[in-house]
Structure 1
């Protein structure tokens, strides 16, 4: 029997369906899932379809209802094993963090150094010094992802025919529950409804515009193909994750651990990332703030994704996602 890691807290929120039926928001308690469309307190106007995003837009009033439901001792209307698990939320916006794990940035700098360039030891030392300066200046590096790249936690990841170097990047993702605009770091976590897992698949050969080096990076093509952001399986309320800076991020490729690092290695923590993003844009309920990926991606190992590979990603207390890579035919 398949074993999944335990979730933090007594319940989680997700999006499910019976087979190919309509997705619905569900409350997961143990192995049971309650269809939240059946809860009178959560209903929306007739003719509308209740989604997890609707619940996040009313998070302050919805969360106490979820607590009462979880404590009421109801038996799940569905068994989790009988359901399909979808991305827990369909976000309006995805804010992504780059170069946010110290060891990961150092490893990437070494991997991207041209053949015959600077010695690895020098690259590591110079990059480590740069990380120290960044942490002191307090300026994260963030960019925007497309919601159309999101796929389910157990869906296939399709490697496009044009993608030569697909790579994995498992990340902790914060899910916004209250609108956030120009919030200070000390108040930023008050706007986070919960946490989930994201895998930020990247076409490594397209990250840098070699035809226009003065322009720099091309995040559109390198990160936003359909299925390039597996998300979930669930949204675990923030109250059950007391310290997002002390979680283990682990990715296994065909059973072998490739990434296995603590979020303590982040240069900028969740609060600083949410605050920084909110200085420019208004973060909305359901939006995702991806916090960067730790060391151990394919570029580090010299082994990139192939047709048939199986990725298994876990973050402490947030569950497990499993995605099979499928090569698109040319």
Structure 2
């Protein structure tokens, strides 16, 4: 993490406490530091200066690696953005060419590129809803449900909402962004499209919402320390690079996403807005998650999360 300070949560016995992270250290935050409304109440008022002053003071600091971190947010709503990285969508189109399609891969790529350019100029972001209960810290093992063998990774930059955002213009949007964190949006590929009635289309509830399917963190980094326009996004699986992109490949940038998402329903302090995942998912590589896999995901300036996969045991859950 490159920022002077950030927020985190850590375990203290059976309890979870808020902490201020700075320079490889963490100190507990008391109620008077965040206010009686907890994190979401603090984000509604968004007084980063108060924490910036604390970061410069002596106090009960301990080494960051001496505590166990958990998810640094408590969202009431989780919005996810689909098909928002240009290269990723183009790759999917080329990979999905049928045998009887007369186009070459190069022709399909050119066609898909033009389609994405038109969507960026004239289209709108595509959102769906995740369950806040799926948000966990990266220290928790990712249990791969036994009902499928096609669980996949999707590393994403996630926006953390500050003051309530409702029907914002693009110009107003960034005033309501408190900060950013990392989310790995786990997806069960063979459940995304309904088989019993294809006309229904996608089933994001079953495809993306299982316990622990949104590993989040490790930090909530204040927006003023982050330029989201060209951040490096990188995921390694067992040390092998799978995703390696930058956020300048987004079709719809952060102001566009926040504005569009706020049109239907107010975005509340602490809510998560996932911005989409770049090319390099397991479906692209023909290699999906297995028992014992270790995913290491990093986004420039936001730190690194490590997620360990374990197979669901028979009879579990």
TM over 0.5: yes
Equivalent in the alignment of 2:214: 229
Cα distance, 1:103 vs structure 2: 0.7
Query: Which consecutive residues of structure 2, in runs of 5 or more, have no partner in the other structure?
Result: none
Could you say if the C-alpha distance between residues 311 and 115 of structure 1 is closer, same or farther in structure 2, counting changes exceeding 3 Å? Answer: farther
Contact between 2:7 and 2:219, CA under 8 Å: does it hold in 1?
Answer: yes
Equivalent in the alignment of 1:300: 284
Distance 2:96 2:152 in 1: 14
Contact between 1:111 and 1:299, CA under 8 Å: does it hold in 2?
Answer: no
Distance 2:186 2:100 in 1: 28
Cα distance, 1:186 vs structure 2: 1.3
* Cα displacement string for residues 133-158 of structure 1 (whole angstroms, at most 9, x for unaligned residues): 11011401111111111111222111
Counterpart selection for 1:129 from 102, 107, 114: 114
Cα distance, 1:228 vs structure 2: 0.7
TM (normalized to structure 1)? 0.90
**Aligned residues: CA RMSD:** 1.6
* Cα displacement string for residues 96-141 of structure 1 (whole angstroms, at most 9, x for unaligned residues): 0000001111122233445555653343233222211110114011
Count how many residue pairs are aligned between Structure 1 and Structure 2.
313
- Matches of residues 186-205 of structure 1 in structure 2 within 5 Å? 186-205=171-190
- Matches of residues 54-73 of structure 1 in structure 2 within 5 Å? 54-59=41-46, 61=47, 63-72=48-57
* Cα displacement string for residues 13-45 of structure 1 (whole angstroms, at most 9, x for unaligned residues): 011123x331011100112211111x635442x
Distance 1:112 1:202 in 2: 18
- Matches of residues 82-161 of structure 1 in structure 2 within 5 Å? 82-114=66-98, 116-117=100-101, 119-161=104-146
Equivalent in the alignment of 2:274: 290
TM (normalized to structure 2)? 0.94
Equivalent in the alignment of 1:32: 25
Contact between 2:85 and 2:250, CA under 8 Å: does it hold in 1?
Answer: yes
Query: Which consecutive residues of structure 1, in runs of 5 or more, have no partner in the other structure?
Result: 1-6, 45-49
Cα distance, 1:76 vs structure 2: 4.2
Cα distance, 1:238 vs structure 2: 0.2
Could you say if the C-alpha distance between residues 281 and 301 of structure 1 is closer, same or farther in structure 2, counting changes exceeding 3 Å? Answer: same
Equivalent in the alignment of 2:225: 240
- Matches of residues 2-41 of structure 1 in structure 2 within 5 Å? 7-18=1-12, 20-37=13-30, 40-41=32-33
* Cα displacement string for residues 261-316 of structure 1 (whole angstroms, at most 9, x for unaligned residues): 00000000011000000011100000011000001111111111111000000000
Distance 1:101 1:315 in 2: 15
* Cα displacement string for residues 168-218 of structure 1 (whole angstroms, at most 9, x for unaligned residues): 100000000110001111110110000000000111111111322211111
Q: Which segment drifts farther, 305-314 or 110-119? A: 110-119
Contact between 2:35 and 2:42, CA under 8 Å: does it hold in 1?
Answer: no
Could you say if the C-alpha distance between residues 282 and 133 of structure 1 is closer, same or farther in structure 2, counting changes exceeding 3 Å? Answer: same
Distance 2:25 2:313 in 1: 39
Distance 1:212 1:155 in 2: 35
Could you say if the C-alpha distance between residues 198 and 42 of structure 1 is closer, same or farther in structure 2, counting changes exceeding 3 Å? Answer: closer
Contact between 1:15 and 1:23, CA under 8 Å: does it hold in 2?
Answer: yes
Contact between 2:292 and 2:309, CA under 8 Å: does it hold in 1?
Answer: yes
